[in-house]
Amino acid sequence: MVFSQFAFLYYFLPAVILLHFFAGKRLRNIVVFLTGLLFYAWGEPFYVVIMLFSTCIDYFAGRFMDKFDDDNKKRKICLLVSVCMNVGLLAVFKYSDFLIDTVNGILGSELANPVLSLNKALNKLAPFGLNEKRVELPIGISFYTFQSMSYTIDLYLRKIPVQKSFLSFASYVSLFPQIVAGPIVRYEQVAAELDDRRVTVTKISSGIGMFVRGLAKKVLLANNMGLIWSAVKASDYTAISAAYAWTGIIAYTFQIYFDFSGYSDMAIGLGRMMGFEFPVNFDHPYISKSVSEFWRRWHITLGSWFRSYVYIPLGGNREGKAKTYRNLLIVWALTGLWHGASWNFVLWGLYFGLLIMIERAGFGKVLEKLPPPLSMLYTFFTAVMGWVLFDTDSLALAGKFYAALFGATGVGIDSLARYTLTSNLMLFIICILISAGAGERLIKFCKQKNRKAALIMGIPLKMAGLLLCTAYLTDAAYNPFLYFRF
């Protein structure tokens, strides 16, 4: 499952783009839908049924909502069916093990997860290979359920017209470039393009450039940073030096950024090749001057989703400070849970919610008065501290790692830390420069000086980048996309 979809891209992407380009207007959504199903089934042959089930429920909820347009009670029932179904799918496949383990831990009971009994029964009927010990998480379920749910919510609020074509709606849900790891695309953002989109050579060329940029982020930067973090993460936290711990968690800080922003760039590029314009999902978050700004730049589409469908309906900041802080804590607890079913993720979300509350209470004005390097250093530090909770396997391990960071082992720096730092120094420097936007500024400078020459030079650079990434992938064994598990 881990990298199957990426193999799909390499094997079939050129054929898909060519087929979509030469297909007529009526056939393009068929290409998108079937490609999306094949792309998803390439790594999840059984759970593609769950995605189709979600698609059907939300489509028919929308059609009935439109049919009973003058009956608000029936429209609300349609909305509740859609929301309960989507949240129910997440509860069953993502949170059931977590909830049952928590109850068993509190009560000392031995409750079994009923989903595992279903898995066992299905395995007897056919060789689905479902896990009978833990519920497997269908890849991308957090993305496509949120995406599909936004359609019915916006339709209920009368922000968008109903989509009467099942094929068009199914194409929206199964858009293969971003179905498994975002960005989260709302229906209104692609509604016009679903019905009529232009695919040009210029768009394809631009999309290839964006795709290669994301691929390079993932393969050349994220993967190599991931190797450093994997070695540190596998160490004994009670014995490692503080320097080695810091090296590891900073490596993960860059790994998760280049991994996720890289996939987002690839998805945006793939969408552009097919005539879609997906929203930007990252905007150099590590140069932010506050935590609030960081979350306006990191995973932008998720933050926008929670703001539109949770924070504002709860009252936002319109009902006084106490309720504003309550709303923030609810949103950030849910944000943590969205990322994963464990107390580490819940505390990770609440940690950032608390920091944002402190900034709103007055610390934000203090940050505004600080020199930019200091405020950026503060924000980067808070992000690094958060990633410890995010990627350690338990609260106990997180506590041990925090202790190691601040010298609890009694070893400040050792030979392993020196070797890791010196042998990867250039990689860290490149990651710092790219995450700060140096690459975009260089491209902009070249275009301002001589746009035609910059465009011409871009062609061999794209080809060289693609060949380099392909060569690296051929030889590398470490290739996970971190956000596929959410």
Chain segment 13-32, per-residue pLDDT in tens: 777 788 888 887 778 888 88
pLDDT at 134: 60
Structural domain contains residue 85: yes
Per-residue pLDDT of 338-359, as tens digits, reads 988 889 999 999 999 999 999 9
Instruction: Kindly state whether residue 108 falls inside one of the protein's structural domains.
Output: yes
Is 482 a member of any domain? Answer: no
Average of per-residue pLDDT across 129-152: 76
What is the structure's pLDDT at 202? 85
Q: Are residues 193 and 214 in the same domain?
A: no
CB 137 within 8 A of CB 296: no
For residue 406, being part of any structural domain is answered with yes
What is the model's pLDDT at position 321? 87
Q: Do 360 and 391 have their domain in common?
A: yes
Examine the domain organization and report whether 173 and 209 are in the same domain.
Answer: no
Do 140 and 123 fall into the same domain?
A: yes
Q: Is the pLDDT of residue 462 over 80?
A: no
State pLDDT tens for residues 167-204. Answer: 999 989 888 777 766 688 889 988 888 888 888 888 88
Share of the chain above pLDDT 90, in %: 46
> Predicted confidence band at 102 (pLDDT cuts at 50, 70, 90)?
confident
Q: Which of 181, 197, 213 is the last residue of a domain?
A: 197
Please name the residues in contact with 315: beta carbons below 8 A apart, sequence gap of 6 or more.
323, 324, 327
Contact (CB, 8 A) for 382 and 356? no
Of 180-184, 204-208, 293-297, least confident by mean pLDDT is 180-184
Instruction: State which of 173, 197, 221 marks the end of a domain.
Output: 197
Asked, for residue 303, whether it belongs to a domain, the answer is: yes
In a shared domain, residues 466 and 404:
yes
Please check whether residues 323 and 244 belong to one and the same domain: yes
The residues assigned a catalytic role are 339
Residue 264 covered by a domain = yes
Domain count for the chain, please give it: 2
Residue 442 has pLDDT above 70, yes or no: yes
Q: How far apart are CA 213 and CA 32, in angstroms?
A: 23
Same domain, 183 and 215: no
The pLDDT value given to residue 478: 52
Confidence band, pLDDT 50/70/90 cuts, at residue 433: very high
pLDDT at 132 over 80: no
Domain that holds residue 85: 4-197
Residue 224 sits in the same domain as residue 137: no
Instruction: Tell me, yes or no, whether 466 and 400 share the same domain.
Output: yes
What is the model's pLDDT at position 2? Answer: 41
pLDDT of res. 142 = 84
Residues 184 and 250 in one domain: no
386 lies in some domain: yes
Q: Per-residue pLDDT averaged across 444-465, rounded?
A: 66
For the segment 377-398, the average pLDDT, to the nearest whole number, is 94
> Quick check: is 480 in a domain?
no
> Residue 45: what are its φ and ψ, rounded to 5°?
-65, -30
On whether both 262 and 373 belong to a single domain, the answer is yes
Contact (CB, 8 A) for 209 and 458: yes
Domain boundary among 175, 197, 219: 197
